[in-house]
Structure 1
């Protein structure tokens, strides 16, 4: 694949209009790639701009489809959005109601519209969300969100086309305790409480780096937010917020994915923009498996130093634990480790569906309903297949694969890059939801592949 083919259209370089890739495996990935801001922060920061009375400026915005979805939703609500390079300017001066059909058309399968509710209730007194989609990795119910909004005074009406919310008396502070430290529900509280009347106390909150970066943005806007060491967040509502100027936190999920690609393919990848502090837990596991890394001021170099990879036991968890989004690409590398590895998934109950394709490619992976980690989790005794046993090393072989979800899809791509022979991976556009210009980066790293459509 040459550079001229790659740059035929920007959309194709980003991966938005690509249907399938034909990958010829067995070639180590080698080179340097650059990352921009985290998908899980940038999209929420864009929504936060709705809360302000003046324009906001967000830097290090990646070219991913989730950003395009949020931009479209903002624009149909009257927000003026301009981009120059990776900088986005968002002006909410003319926020207005949007038609349900327009919201449905722009939302697609994204779950992001649920986070528009608090800001729109503040600005317009009403909000609408369509039926929510997203990756099929677990139930991920919106019950947390709806209950949170009711606590703030929202009236929730379920319609055949979606959910409409109103706030006839405005929104007021609330005392909320989450049954699980959900990232999405924590974001919901933050985006709703900052302009609610009175004080809000959120217990059992998520404290991921992306959450703390969102709090930093809201504080720049004039919000009063206190984070305690016991996962309690207290917000004092204010009447007005101003626009922010902020450079987004790097995407640690993307960094870990490319790190695992280097390990699985026997390669050497420098991930520009990656930082040690937010990846400490991942780096510890990476080293235990046998991977090597080197920390630089402008990024992290990841490589396979030679020799056998080692088996590990890993449990996913909320921050500061091992992220659920890290386990899928790691499983591909563990298929090449000498011995038995165990991955206990405690965040999403259906995140091992992607292993079926790996088994078809020759991996030895068994999925179990028991909690095979050091402690029982909320999925124990509920018949969820949430523990994986991986035996290696094995040689993967090429196969035809349909991408099921974002992280699983990237993991399938890594598997194809390590496999003997040729693989055809379809539905790869899903990968563009969270991996900026992944096709271009594959070319830079020397991958052998063709774009099929």
Structure 2
């Protein structure tokens, strides 16, 4: 099979300009929110990525009319004829995304029932869905687990409740928000995630008529309303994709202007980027990232929930850290298996050692659970081309960065997984001067 392989001829700095559109971690959820409205919704700055296509298909299966708007990257969604979807059709989407579970609340409000098949997503550690179902039960839903999936019903109107998250999970916070807005009474969510994408989803729901307040102690209060309207909204830019291109510029010794990147949502990343030795310049249209020359600096880095250093920023930046002088320490506190991708970097000539201990002071769920979740990166090391198999979305883009920085030609397998979260990434690579190609069939 050569159709899922990319040949990367490395050793050349990337240079030029690319554009990022709306955040992968917001756009599909804003599309789900359209299900709650009694009128059409208009979402702008939508990227052409696989997760968007999956949700579009799920909405259409449930009777939502979805079509392109007047400007590029605009979707118009009309939920006036929401209906029950065929279980077999829904199941066809199983394994391609974890988004379907977020349809539960909206479908229970609109139809009184929902079906959720088995769920997919990146294999980067525990992302249990049981908590989603526990939350829905608290709202008053009943759940019947069968061989082909979960069948949910709401015999009566869902009711607001008090929920304490054991960890500020983004997915769980989204589930509560999408369910609470039409539930009867007040919902209080403690220890909620407050990522910029969560704030943007709250903005979407408020435009629809929801009543939501966010306190400084991670408590979100939602007063349920009887009816929601449609919305018109421009999605915030994808700060995770922007950071990936920044890391690529740093690792290859290049310069990339990321049009659409926003400083406010990237402040923590920008500070770390500067500490490593990268330079950046912000203007009203985007951010230019570049390697100024000279040695990069080793750093100590710990991932954390927002406003900390995002776990999705970690993998691309680790590739750049292989080129920094000295010992860098990375403590991953969000996903226990996220450092597994480093074995391929070692195969390419990197010196990265993993540890079960917490190499840092940030509170961590994994310290006593025997997971390799800390890393020591020794550099700089010369990377050499290799055959690489993409393990997950961010790890996959990190492999691309490593291949771009390495001497020789790498074969990167499973490349289409990157389409889940990076719009037109191959075209962007070519526009930056990267030498990439699909192998010819023999």
Name the TM-score class by shorter chain.
over 0.9
* Structure 1 residues 48-102: Cα deviation after superposition (integer angstroms, max 9, x where no partner): 0000000000000000001000000000000000014210000001101111111
The 5 Å alignment of 1:34-433 reads: 34-84=19-69, 85-433=72-420
**Stretches of structure 2 lacking an aligned partner (at least 5 in a row):** none
Q: CA deviation at 1:104?
A: 1.2
Could you tell me the TM-score, scaled by structure 1's length? 0.95
CA distances 1:11-36 after superposition (whole Å, capped 9, x unpaired): xxxxxx95111111000000000110
1:166-213 CA distance string (max 9 Å, x none): 111120001000000000000000000000001000000000000000
Asked if the contact 2:280/2:288 (under 8 Å) is kept, the reply is yes
Call closer, same or farther: CA 1:203–1:348 in 2, change over 3 Å. same
Contact 1:19 1:452 in 2 (8 A): no
SS at match of 2:426: helix
- What's the C-alpha RMSD, in Å, of the aligned pairs? 1.0
CA distance in 2, matches of 1:144, 1:316: 23
- Length, aligned pairs only: 437
How far the C-alpha of 1:452 sits from its partner, in A, is 2.6
Which structure 1 residue ranges, 5 or more long, are not aligned? 1-16
Offset at residue 374 of structure 1 (A): 2.0
Q: Is the Cα contact below 8 Å between 2:95 and 2:118 reproduced in 1?
A: no
The 1:192/1:332 distance shift into structure 2, 3 A limit, reads same
Distance in 2 (alpha carbons) for counterparts of 1:427 and 1:376: 34
Task: Give 3-state SS (helix, strand or coil) of 2:339's partner.
Answer: coil
Q: 1:108 and 1:379 mapped to 2: Cα distance?
A: 27
Scaled by the length of structure 2, what TM-score is found? 0.98
CA distance in 1, matches of 2:83, 2:95: 21
Q: Helix, strand or coil for the counterpart of 1:109?
A: coil
Task: Specify whether residues 213 and 376 from structure 1 end up closer, same or farther in structure 2 by C-alpha distance, changes over 3 A only.
Answer: closer
| Secondary structure class of the residue paired with 1:229 | coil
8 Å Cα contact 1:73/1:107 also seen in 2:
no
Secondary structure in 2 matching 1:93? coil
Secondary structure of the structure 1 residue equivalent to 2:222:
strand
- Give 1:376 shift: 4.4
Asked if 1 retains the 8 angstrom alpha-carbon contact of 2:338 and 2:373, the reply is yes
Structure 1 counterpart SS, 2:313:
helix
Verify the 8 A CA contact 2:94 2:118 in the aligned structure 1.
no
